[in-house]
């Protein structure tokens, strides 16, 4: 099981808002494919999956804020 | 729901990299500032994962208050346009600190920029030279790109920098002539062109570079005019990117420039004779700086340069 954490985005930016999950729980995903879209005040980001596998769990839904370093999904 | 207001080409792809923390720790241990962090750059995660950094020297506070910039101009009144802070000390240990960071991270290519220091007699040119010399002492092979302010057009300052023989001399025109009073108060369009022209006169083999932001209220024709002016000042490398507002106090984004327009600037730029043109939503003046420098150095024929520059541009767009 791989924990997907929100990486460092920018200085002073500690949170981002989840705007879109490209996959639902139970879907398969390949390493490097977009997993989730996030927004900060300045920009919108796509976070690719760090591994190939099945998306087992998402820790935050659309519109929810997540913090840098926080586990936002689990992939197996 | 996907945010319909953000077009697909403005969604930045993040990079997973555990070395990010090492990078931040090294920068913090050396006690240096980076413009990557101060400007809230959307490319930071990508660039840091490739060990590409732009150092910000001469203190945290700028004596100007450009409408697009997030660097503080006062210790108390952060991001307040129109208020300048004067008298912050130049750190005599800064050249060593930057060299220490270069050494710790084994950097092969560094970009050094600064806040504008209208309060200093030489505008900080002497400090730039000391930093360059200090970095060269720890690494003979490191390539150095400087991105300097206009030094209020002071020739002796520009001469100091030219004599320090940085591998690339950058000075950003930033925006079109008409928007200077709004976006670059305290700066002067013709003066910025003269900075680029002067350094080329002083050192003919100096590679020069400039950058334009789009989305500040300019029209395409004005961008083309600016490109032509910059090229006429002898500039070799041009970068063009989308302005994104760092704070709500900064100038609003007037428009989101489409990839087709960015691509048109690539073709026009090469027709004007630039040796390299990078143009795209997330292009910033130091973005892929090492690759650009290497492509300019290694390619002799105009045809080859054009092909490579365009491919570089498409690759950058492709991922978004």
Question: DSSP per residue over A3-56, as a string?
Answer: EEEPPP-BTTB-EEEEEEESS-TT-EE-TTSEEEEEE-SS-EEEEEPSS-EEEE
Q: Is the pLDDT of residue B4 over 50?
A: no
Contacts with A62 from chain B: Cβ below 8 Å? 1
With contact defined as beta carbons under 8 Å apart, do B315 and B308 qualify?
Answer: no
Alpha-carbon distance B26 to B24, whole Å? 5
Contacts with B36 from chain A: Cβ below 8 Å? 11
Closest by Cα among B243, B254, B299 to B274: B299
Which of helix, strand or coil describes residue B63? coil
Question: Under an 8 A CB cutoff, do A7 and B3 touch?
Answer: no
On whether residue B309 sits in a domain, the answer given is: yes
Residue A51 backbone dihedrals phi, psi, to 5 degrees:
-145, 165
On whether residue B47 sits in a domain, the answer given is: yes
With contact defined as beta carbons under 8 Å apart, do A41 and A1 qualify?
Answer: no
- Average pLDDT over chain B reads 86
Alpha-carbon distance B133 to B52, whole Å? 20
Q: How far is B17 from chain A (nearest CA, A)?
A: 8
Question: Under an 8 A CB cutoff, do A42 and B11 touch?
Answer: no
With contact defined as beta carbons under 8 Å apart, do B153 and B192 qualify?
Answer: no
Domain range list for chain A: 2-75
Q: How far is B320 from chain A (nearest CA, A)?
A: 9
pLDDT > 90 in chain B, percent: 62
Which residue in A has a C-alpha nearest to residue B10's C-alpha?
A: A44
On whether residue B234 sits in a domain, the answer given is: yes
Q: How many residue pairs from chains A and B have C-beta atoms closer than 8 A?
A: 75
Q: Which pTM does this prediction carry?
A: 0.86
Mean pLDDT computed over B209-221 = 97
Which residue in A has a C-alpha nearest to residue B37's C-alpha?
A: A11
With contact defined as beta carbons under 8 Å apart, do A34 and A4 qualify?
Answer: no
On whether residue B10 sits in a domain, the answer given is: no
Better-scored residue on pLDDT, B38 or B270: B270
| Res. B40 pLDDT band, cuts 50 70 90 | confident
- Tell me, yes or no, if A37 comes closer than 8 A to chain B by beta carbon: yes
Q: How many domains does chain B have?
A: 1
What CA dihedral angle connects B56, B58, B59 and B61, to 10 degrees?
A: -90
Contacts with B6 from chain A: Cβ below 8 Å? 39, 44
On whether residue B294 sits in a domain, the answer given is: yes
On whether residue B4 sits in a domain, the answer given is: no
On whether residue B8 sits in a domain, the answer given is: no
Show which of residues 193-252 on chain B sit within 8 Å of chain A, judged by CB atoms. Answer: 244-248
| Res. B86 pLDDT band, cuts 50 70 90 | very low
Alpha-carbon distance B241 to B254, whole Å? 14
Better-scored residue on pLDDT, B206 or B301: B206
On whether residue B6 sits in a domain, the answer given is: no
Q: CB-based contacts of B192: which residues, under 8 Å, 6+ apart?
A: B150, B171, B172, B173, B174
Which of helix, strand or coil describes residue B298? helix
pLDDT score, position A73: 95
Domain of B87: which CATH number? 3.20.20.70
Contacts with B26 from chain A: Cβ below 8 Å? none
pLDDT score, position B18: 67
Domain residue limits at B187 = 15-318
Contacts with B37 from chain A: Cβ below 8 Å? 10-12
Alpha-carbon distance B197 to B174, whole Å? 16
- Interface confidence (ipTM) of the complex: 0.80
E strand or H helix that includes residue B226: helix B220-232
Q: Is the dihedral of CA B175, B181, B184, B186 positive or negative?
A: positive
- Tell me, yes or no, if A51 comes closer than 8 A to chain B by beta carbon: no
**What class does CATH assign to A2-75?**
mainly beta
Count the Cβ atoms, other than its own, within 10 Å of residue B49.
18
pLDDT tens digits in sequence order for chain A, 76 residues long: 999 998 887 766 788 999 999 999 999 999 989 999 998 877 889 999 999 999 999 999 999 999 988 999 999 9
- Tell me, yes or no, if A76 comes closer than 8 A to chain B by beta carbon: no
């Amino acid at each position: 099981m791989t924990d997907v954490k929100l990486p460092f985005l920018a200085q002073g930016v500690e949170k981002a808002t989840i705007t879109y999950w490209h996959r639902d729980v139970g879907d398969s995903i390949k390493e490097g494919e977009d997993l989730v879209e996030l927004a900060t005040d300045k920009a919108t980001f796509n976070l690719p999956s760090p591994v190939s596998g099945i998306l087992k769990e998402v820790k935050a839904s659309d519109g929810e804020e997540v913090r840098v370093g926080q586990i936002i999904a689990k992939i197996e | 729901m996907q945010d319909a207001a953000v077009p697909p080409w403005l969604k930045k792809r993040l990079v997973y990299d555990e070395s990010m923390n090492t990078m931040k720790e090294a920068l913090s241990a050396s006690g240096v500032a980076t413009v990557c962090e101060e400007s809230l750059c959307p490319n930071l995660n990508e660039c840091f994962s490739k060990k590409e950094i732009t150092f910000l020297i001469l203190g945290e506070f700028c004596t100007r208050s450009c409408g697009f910039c997030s660097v503080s101009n006062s210790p108390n009144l952060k991001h307040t346009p129109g208020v300048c802070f004067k008298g912050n000390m130049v750190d005599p240990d800064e050249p060593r600190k930057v060299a220490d960071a270069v050494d710790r991270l084994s950097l092969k290519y560094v970009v050094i920029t600064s806040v504008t220091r209208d309060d200093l007699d030489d505008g900080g040119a002497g400090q730039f030279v000391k930093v360059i010399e200090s970095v060269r002492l720890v690494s003979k092979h490191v390539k150095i790109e400087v991105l300097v302010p206009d030094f209020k057009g002071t020739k002796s300052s520009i001469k100091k920098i030219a004599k320090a023989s940085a591998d690339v001399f950058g000075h950003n025109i930033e925006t079109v002539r008409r928007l200077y009073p709004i976006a670059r108060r305290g700066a002067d369009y013709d003066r910025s062109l003269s900075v680029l022209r002067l350094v080329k006169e002083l050192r003919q083999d100096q590679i020069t570079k400039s950058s334009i932001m789009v989305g500040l209220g300019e029209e395409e024709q004005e961008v083309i005019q600016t490109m032509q002016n910059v090229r006429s000042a002898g500039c070799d490398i041009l970068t063009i990117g989308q302005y994104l507002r760092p704070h709500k106090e900064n100038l609003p984004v007037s428009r989101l420039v489409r990839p087709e327009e960015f691509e048109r600037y690539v073709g026009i730029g090469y027709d004007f004779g630039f040796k390299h043109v990078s143009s795209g939503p997330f292009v910033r003046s130091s973005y892929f700086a090492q690759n650009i420098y290497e492509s300019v150095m290694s390619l002799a024929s105009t045809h080859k340069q054009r092909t490579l520059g365009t491919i570089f541009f498409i690759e950058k767009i492709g991922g978004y």
